Structure 1
Amino acid sequence: MNRFAGKVALVTGGRSGIGLAIARRLRDEGARVFTAQRGEDHECEGIAVDFTDPFAASGAVQSVAGRAGRLDVLVNNAGMMQEALVEDTSLEDWQRTITVNLTTPFAMIKAALPHLRAVGGTIVNIGSIEGLGSNPRHAAYCASKAGINGLTRAVAVDHSAEGVRCNAVAPGWIDTDLNVEFIESMPDPAGFRRDIGKIHPVGRTGKPEEVASLVAWLASDESSFVTGQVWTIDGGRMAKLSLPQ
């Protein structure tokens, strides 16, 4: 497939995990892909960005537009998580999470809109099923991801008539390097993986490449009548009611 031939994409947090899978998928389908994150990118054209500074992050958009002359696809993937109860969360930690996970995507979209409008481009925001439900001690993360869902709908309502579509993807448990390392740190990794698989109707956790497939479809012209939606990709986890253990 060559759905993105001649197009330019910017993926934040595209050096690892889900972001890397997305960057590779768009690149393999013909896009010129830029990634934005801390540090270098040895696979795509990388831009060093501090996501705790929304103004600096949005400058990545101008860098891409200046170097490539256009921007067709923006994927807001970079994010962070801190675990703490509300009463144990400092205001600084709360604000850092909201800044990285919500304010910076807002700033990226704001900077990208003129360029996307010029070419009929698309925005895909990477949220989480924790924008719909919650794991324990994830108040700041859940709030930020719920905000991504609302931002996605608002941008779609305001700008789809201008040719700029905006959707969100809400992944569940995905086998990123970080999650795999977490599993391997358990006393019984095989048992933990078996148990985590049981909470999914499909019987397993997801792969970054599976999320990338959905993102590529949403970013392509094949989804031209789709906007303002939050697409859950979680192996059916959110659809399954819990039973007594």
Structure 2
Amino acid sequence: MKRFENTVAIVTGGRSGIGREIALRLQDEGAEVFTVQRSGDDRFPSISADISDAAGAQSAVDEVVARTGRLDVLVNNAGMMQESTVEDMSVEDWNRNLAVNLTGPFLMIRAALEHLRTTHGTIVNVGSLEGLGSNPGHAAYSASKAGLHGLTRAIAVDHGDEGIRCNAVAPGWIDTELNREFIESLADPQEFSREIGRIHPVGRSGKAEEVAALVAFLAADEASFITGQIYSVDGGRMAQLSLP
């Protein structure tokens, strides 16, 4: 028997990148998967919604439950990153980053809780290493992901006695199409790729399917005594001290 048979899952931002691999992994293990994002999805049943809007998040959850009768797994993966220091960032841009990366998961969780109580469901949030540290010029991104890590713990504490678990994964540098495009845009892509290898003890960047494997474990019954945790998926990057 597959781990997620008779299970309904929502993956926000499941149309591409890490979200797509999470959706594929859950589906491969038996789940009925719906993706939620602003645009459609040619691979999975999808709902077009702005999850940073309360009505959009509620309607997305309501539609899935109306179509399936239940909700077992919520994966909050949708996010954005805008490079800017605090000094250079407008209030509008700051609010937009927090709306997508932090308020969106909050609204999706709030809409899903009544259904997850019924199924003793699970929530997995996709945070970031930048919720633990920061790269230059990533003030809003780091702040929003640190907030998402805090929200993860709060949900675990407030709703554990209702049978709901909530954990987060914190990916580091993952080899997604978006990151590959960024590398190819640089003056010396090969040197950048070599540098990425050097900052990871495992000698390479991560794969989206490696993040998906951890998400699937945390959503499954094997992880029934794990909640309120933030798991780094970073090839040892945060464990390695820089050279003097």
Q: How do 1:5-154 residues align onto structure 2 when only pairs under 5 Å count?
A: 5-154=5-154
* Distance (whole Å) between structure 2 residues aligned to residue 214 and residue 188 of structure 1: 33
Backbone CA RMSD of aligned residues: 0.9
Shift of 1:198: 0.4
| Aligned residues with identical type, % of pairs | 68
Q: Which runs of 5+ in 2 are unaligned?
A: none
Residues 34, 46 of structure 2: 8 Å contact kept? yes
- Does residue 228 (structure 1) correspond to residue 228 (structure 2)? The answer is yes
**Is the deviation greater in 177-186 or in 71-80?**
177-186
Q: Find the aligned partners of 1:221 and 1:6 in 2 and give their Cα distance.
A: 13
Deviation at 1:59, TM superposition (A): 1.9
For residue 176 of structure 1, what is the aligned residue in structure 2?
176
Question: How much has 1:119 moved relative to structure 2?
Answer: 0.6
1:93 partner amino acid? D
Matched length: 244
Q: Which residue does the alignment assign to 2:206?
A: 206
Q: How many angstroms apart in 1 are the aligned matches of 2:213 and 2:221?
A: 14
| TM-score (normalizing by structure 2) | 0.98
Q: Is the 8 A contact 2:52 2:107 kept in 1?
A: no
Query: Normalising to structure 1: TM-score of the pair?
Result: 0.98
Distance apart, 1:192 and its partner CA: 1.3
What is the DSSP-based 3-state SS (H/G/I as helix, E as strand, rest coil) of the residue aligned with 1:203? coil
Separation in 1 of the partners of 2:140 and 2:128? 13
Q: Structure 1: which 5+ residue stretches go unaligned? A: none
What's the offset of the Cα at 1:148?
A: 0.5
| Structure 1 pair 121–72 and aligned structure 2 pair: CA distance change class (3 A) | same
Q: Deviations over 1:36-95 (max 9, x none)?
A: 012111111110012342431232111111111000000000000111110111000000
Contact 2:49 2:56 in 1 (8 A): yes
Q: Does the CA-based 8 Å contact 2:51-2:107 persist in structure 1? A: no
Aligned equivalents of 1:54 and 1:133: distance in 2? 29
Aligned-residue offset at 1:240: 0.8
Contact 1:54 1:99 in 2 (8 A): no
Tell me, yes or no, if structure 1 residue 161 matches structure 2 residue 161.
yes
SS in 1 for 2:187: coil
Runs of 4+ in structure 1 deviating by more than 4 angstroms, as ranges, are none
Distance 1:111 1:207 in 2: 31
